[in-house]
Structure 1
Amino acid sequence: MVRVVVVVLAIALVVIGLAAGFQRRLIYLPMPADVPPADERLPEAEEVVLTTEDGLDLGAWYLAPDEPRAAVLVANGNAGHRGLRAPLAERLAAEDLAVLLFDYRGYGGNEGSPTEEGLARDVRAAHDHLVHERGHDPGRVVAFGESLGTGVVTELATEREVGALVLRSPFTDLAAVGRQHYPFLPVRTLLRDRYPVAERVARLDVPVAVAYGTDDGIVPAELSREVAGEARNLVGHRPIEGADHNDAVLLDGDEVIAAVRDAVDALDG
């Protein structure tokens, strides 16, 4: 009996060790292929290079109407690249909004490896581009985060001025999501990257709009509802009935665009 217990403990320790060592490969899922040129996915967009404070060059696309009402900085989720967000950018541009799509380090052919600290540097470079290179008033920048990107933009909003936040499929913190998928692991103890979205949202006074699917199999809807409940200035709460995490309606559907509109209208207040 003692031998059985020892073997079980040894296996558990191996599993925990592997989870700790390879956790970022489970969190960050960049597509291996490079991003196609902008003129193939978003013909009206301009190719942009963002340089981070630690010297990495990141690919980006900038799209703007002649007189944009505001600028939307899009922080992606944990998979794919900016080319997959082209339909979102087109719909936002149709709302008279400037849009900046970019890829994090390690994504879309960019050098580097993604971490919470690294993605924070990446989004700061995107914010700097909109404000210092394009001349957008930071108070008219809407930071749009999808899933993992909600952690990225909420951190940005604690460090830099933004006008509003749009959070698509937000989670309270990364450990809460991890516990849903790996209930047999001490996720909160193991995690290196935390992304405390709800805690940060509770500290912010900017307008916040939240959209999520009620049947989300990756980020449970109750986590998104909890984030919405923490917002001091909630201007849009849009649960999308029956939608799962990667359904088209959550990528660039009407309710997601309406959540952006909620945020921009709050700026016009």
Structure 2
Amino acid sequence: MPVGWIKLLFIVGVGYAVYCAFLFAVQRALIFPTLFVGIPEGLDQPADLERMWVETSFGRVEAWFLPSRRPGPDGKSPLIVYAHGNGEVIDIWPSVLEPLAHRGLSVLLVEYPGYGRSEGKPSQKSITESFVAAYDRVAGRPDVDSERIFLWGRSIGGGAVCALAAQRPSAGLLLMSTFTSLRPFARRYLAPSFLVRDPFDNLDVVRRYPNPVLVVHGRNDTVIPYRHGVDLARNAPNARLITYDCDHNDCPPRWPPFFRILEDFVRGKTDSP
């Protein structure tokens, strides 16, 4: 091989190595864009919303508890642990999810480290620790039915709840517009998948998850392709896939019909449309 070609290949190889090192260093800023996620002001929150701080090894993380307005005869209600997308904070969700409280469900919203008012920096490890600590904080409450705790993750939140499902018991898993793993997305940047620092291997979790899994995905999702939802549903032992003709951020297209499906999922009904 001519010397010129050897020099060119060397330069290209060094350049690619530098590029991969750069991606390795900045990938968490791409996955968790905390600098661009502000805290919205002037939002009306439910009067009975309980705000709490959860202690972790890296500082305090905020969590909000929205209690059920229709508890059972024993005073207990099923609990939904909700994990939001990477461009959001918990502040925007109580007004959206409040109808669940009227349907007899309590909701726990856990903030990601470094988001909103929470301390720390987001990573798979810190997010998992946060959700486990918040789960442990509320699972023993007298108004929570510890046998009916359901985990719901949207987009990156699917990784958070799957990580929690691997460490704590739950009655069901709801994955909305989420991924099999973050490793395949390395291809978008022409980088090897082993460089992904926070892989969130959801596929591995659902393969071993013994309880019902509800997968919800938009057929036209341009952020996390629909095939991720299909693969999650195919690999879970007990799964149902609901497909909407929508993109990523408008899934589901309408909340009220979806809330009926969610309530049936929690109640153990499987004949919802």
Relative to the length of structure 1, the TM-score reads 0.88
In the other structure, the counterpart of 1:165 is 173
Supply the distance in 1 between the matched residues of 2:51 and 2:139 (Cα, whole angstroms): 14
Aligned partners of 1:59 and 1:110 also within 8 Å: yes
Letter in 2 for 1:174: L
2:191 pairs with 1:185: yes
1:6 Cα deviation after fit: 2.6
In the other structure, the counterpart of 1:244 is 247
SS in structure 2 at match of 1:224: helix
Q: Rate the CA distance shift 1:178–1:135 in 2: closer, same or farther, 3 A.
A: farther
Aligned partners of 2:229 and 2:241 also within 8 Å: no
Supply the distance in 2 between the matched residues of 1:268 and 1:15 (Cα, whole angstroms): 48
Aligned partners of 1:49 and 1:57 also within 8 Å: no
Instruction: Output the aligned Cα RMSD.
Output: 2.4
Map 1:38-187 to 2 at 5 A. Answer: 40-54=43-57, 56-68=59-71, 69-133=77-141, 135-179=143-187, 181-182=188-189, 184-186=190-192
Aligned partners of 1:35 and 1:108 also within 8 Å: no
Q: Rate the CA distance shift 1:142–1:232 in 2: closer, same or farther, 3 A.
A: same
1:217 Cα deviation after fit: 0.9
Deviates more, 1:26-35 or 1:119-128: 26-35
Supply the distance in 1 between the matched residues of 2:50 and 2:201 (Cα, whole angstroms): 32
Relative to the length of structure 2, the TM-score reads 0.86
SS in structure 2 at match of 1:202: helix
SS in structure 2 at match of 1:52: strand
In the other structure, the counterpart of 2:211 is 206
In the other structure, the counterpart of 2:74 is none
1:100 Cα deviation after fit: 1.4
In the other structure, the counterpart of 1:218 is 223
Between the two proteins, what is the percent identity of the paired residues? 27
In the other structure, the counterpart of 2:266 is 264
SS in structure 2 at match of 1:138: strand
Supply the distance in 2 between the matched residues of 1:104 and 1:251 (Cα, whole angstroms): 25
Supply the distance in 2 between the matched residues of 1:86 and 1:6 (Cα, whole angstroms): 55
Q: Which has the higher helix share?
A: 1
In the other structure, the counterpart of 2:9 is 5
2:31 pairs with 1:27: yes
In structure 2, runs of 5+ residues without a counterpart are 72-76
